[in-house]
Amino acid sequence: MSEQLPELKDAIALGLTEAEYELVCEKQGSPPNQVELAMYSLLWSEHCAYKHSKNLLVTLPTEGPAVVMGPGENAGAVDVGDGLICAFKVESHNHPSAVEPFQGAATGVGGILRDIFAIGARPIAVLDSLRFGEIETSERSRYLLERAVAGIGHYGNSIGVPTVGGEVYFEGPYEQNCLVNAMALGLGPRDQLMRSAAAGVGNVVLIYGASTGRDGIGGASVLASAELGEADDDKRPTVQVGDPFEEKKLMECSLELLELGLIVSLQDLGAAGLTSSACEMASKGEVGIDIDVRKVPLREADMEPFEIMVSESQERMLCVIEPKDVDAVRAICDKWEVSSAAIGEVTETRLMRIYSGAELVGEMPVEALVDDCPIYDLAPQKPSEPLYSPPIARLDRSAGLAEALLALVGSPNVASRRPLFEQYDPIVQSRTVRRPEQADAAVLALPNGSALAVSIDGNGRRVAADPYRGTLGVVLECASNLACVGAHPLGTTNNLNFGNPEKPHVAWQLTEAVRAIADACTALEAPIVGGNVSLYNEGASGPIYPTPVIGMVGLLPDATRAGRLGFAQEGESIALVGPFEPSLAASELSKLRGEPLPDELPEVDIEAVRDAQAAVRGAVRDGLIDSAHDIAEGGIVTALAECALAGSIGAAIEIEAGEDAWQACFGEAPGGFICCGHATALAQLGERTKVTVIGKVGGERLEIDLGSEKIELGLDELRLQHRALESVFQ
């Protein structure tokens, strides 16, 4: 151990403030040494301690009839019947992906998968939520998109977990700070559910998986908890490198160990590596842990103790086991060709003691490390000036309605995602009932004939226009997607991607968004079971659009009745369903026209939307209707085009446009659905919610009669536009 103690300037370089450093000295009783400072700086980082968001997160609803495990564990879990649970969580890997998109995105998937199997569930699905700058004008954004998608595919495909859904949007404010959020679901027996609290004084702490190297040192503090700047290429060594083959073995090995009941508690090594994992386990178990860093299998022999403690090398797990089981556990690890080493012991000291051989190189109270980080109140203030400059206009005001529809269908935010999702395996594990572009939500069959449905959503532009109502729309859209396949929500996960919370306007966005998530999740009875916060997402030109990403998991009783989005049969009726009040405020059309963001969005009637969802859900479950699609970006006409393209069949529609045909065609709002079915079935649905029959399925054209004007387009014309993203991947 170097004798020279680090000083305040070293603490500041590691991301601590002066006051926080002084508090560390007070907790330790003396200035911390290098190992101790490294560990405090990570555990007291925003990424680990949630110090700017904790006070908000406690306001979220976390309880509900299906909730088995709420926030605080590696992932949340809900009961799905017959002794099975579904574990799920979304997490971000934004800054690593902005620096090195392939590895950043790949290890984002790797990290979220470990969270799932750490609680004893086999990962069964991955979804992703991506944000980049304008790919039509930014070469860098095209590069980031292409490499991030390749990274997600590389990891998910190689490990045998299907990527079943996702979403991607392109907006200027993400130019310097892209977002890569990954969500995973797992399925496991309820009685195998594993918690991370260390238990049993004298029990052995064992690390298994990949060996530990110098990659990812300081990732949580230096990269994840600060704004991105000009010279960020220098931070590339703080990005971890993933190996899906290692993770595949690690996953199978972990699941076998859990099935054999050999593990007392389990935790993955993610941000802040061994430091975070060991301290979290000790804290939750109200025990202490001794670790000898010389026993950790290393990739590079000459690593310093602090480097071993903070390394973010991927594909590693930490478990507590009984001494009698060490040989059995190591034999399973050997079978899977996974290296393992007993590196420590559970103690009653409530201290983290780090040894290098016989030498004590760090000693810290667990409570000080995990619980005593200062929590900051935000100082939210609504900005008096617009925060974001208007987008560049791409659609002339003189354009007609048909031209606008083609522009919308071909705009990067609406165009088919096929060039992305066909790089992912959506079917491995033989459970996928609805693949991407077949329905609004992915559907995964369960053994008893029921099915899980899952959707992930976000809409930064609308949240930027009105953080509260915009976020309500995001949560409601997720539930609408579930309703379209016939599922009711069981639980929700969220990833709060925001700028620097120390700035009042970002604090205001964050506060309003969390308030909306709480209100919507309460009304929908879709409690939050876990999530993640990613702050400091801004570059020199300002913050990203505030981007709460919502992932929702639901259940439908009969997998064979899972809904589809495409029009089904010639001659069937088409209806607009639900309390839909379209507005062009912050819509996709207003973006194409280059309009500045409005100051607010129209009011949202949460209960009315919820009731419409219940009606659509019921109709899908009863087999009453043959298609259901939620109206989102681009409004009702864009939704009709999507239904026609998905079903490869046209439609003839009449819409009462009222005073503003543009608003009627392209206005957006929560609560609207396009459903098709027999006229009598739609009339029955009309007894449950507002239903307006607007046309019939048939032909090879989309014809929309607005009274004074008409849109007439062939499906082939629409399809050509819809394939716009293919050019990025050629």
The window from 134-142, 255-263, 417-425, 609-617 that contacts other proteins (CB under 8 A) reads: 417-425
Alpha helices in 595-714 (DSSP H): 606-621, 635-647, 661-666, 679-685
Residue 343, SS3 per DSSP:
strand
318 binds other proteins (CB under 8 A): no
Q: Which of residues 256-295 bind other proteins (CB under 8 A)?
A: none
150 binds other proteins (CB under 8 A): yes
588 binds other proteins (CB under 8 A): no
- From candidates 48, 445, 556, 665, binder to other proteins by CB under 8 A: 445
Beta bridge partners of 267: 318
316 binds other proteins (CB under 8 A): no
Q: How is 260-308 classified by DSSP, letter by letter?
A: TT--SEEEE--TTHHHHHHHHHHHHHT-EEEEEGGGS-BSSTT--HHHH
The window from 18-26, 97-105, 245-253, 684-692 that contacts other proteins (CB under 8 A) reads: 245-253
Binding mask 9-48 for other proteins (x = CB under 8 A): ----------------------------------------
Judged by CB, which is closer to other proteins: 21, or 117?
117
- From candidates 416, 432, 481, 500, binder to other proteins by CB under 8 A: 432
Task: Give the shortest CB-188-to-other proteins separation in angstroms.
Answer: 15
248 binds other proteins (CB under 8 A): yes
In this structure, are residues 188 and 122 in contact, taking their beta carbons and an 8 Å threshold? yes
Task: Give the shortest CB-257-to-other proteins separation in angstroms.
Answer: 16
Q: How far apart are CA 449 and CA 196, in angstroms?
A: 32
Sheet-wide strand order for 288-292: 265-268, 316-321, 204-209, 339-347, 288-292, 351-356, 359-365
Q: Does the active-site annotation cover 47? A: yes
Burial tier of 487 (Cβ tally within 10 Å: 0-12, 13-18, 19+): buried
- From candidates 55, 349, 429, 569, binder to other proteins by CB under 8 A: 429
Catalytic residue, chosen from 52, 93, 488, 505, is: 93
**How many residues line the site for other proteins (CB under 8 A)?**
33
Residue with tokens 């574990």: 87
Residue 194's identity, in one-letter code, is M
Q: How far apart are CA 551 and CA 242, in angstroms?
A: 24
Residue with tokens 């949630």: 50
Residue with tokens 């099935």: 259
Judged by CB, which is closer to other proteins: 317, or 631?
317
Q: Which residues contact 358 (CB under 8 A, 6 or more apart)?
A: none
Judged by CB, which is closer to other proteins: 164, or 264?
164
The window from 150-158, 229-237, 397-405, 495-503 that contacts other proteins (CB under 8 A) reads: 150-158
- From candidates 423, 583, 684, 692, binder to other proteins by CB under 8 A: 423
The window from 47-55, 242-250, 379-387, 632-640 that contacts other proteins (CB under 8 A) reads: 242-250
Q: Does the active-site annotation cover 678? A: no
In 3D space, the residue among 86, 16, 45, 62 whose CA is nearest the CA of residue 528 turns out to be 62
What phi and psi, each to the nearest 5 degrees, are found at residue 646? -65, -35
In 3D space, the residue among 589, 580, 551 whose CA is nearest the CA of residue 462 turns out to be 589
241 binds other proteins (CB under 8 A): no
158 binds other proteins (CB under 8 A): yes
Kindly list the residues in this chain that would bind other proteins in the complex (CB under 8 A).
Answer: 150, 153-154, 157-160, 243-246, 248-249, 252, 336-337, 421-433, 445, 559-560, 729
Q: Which residues are catalytic?
A: 47, 93
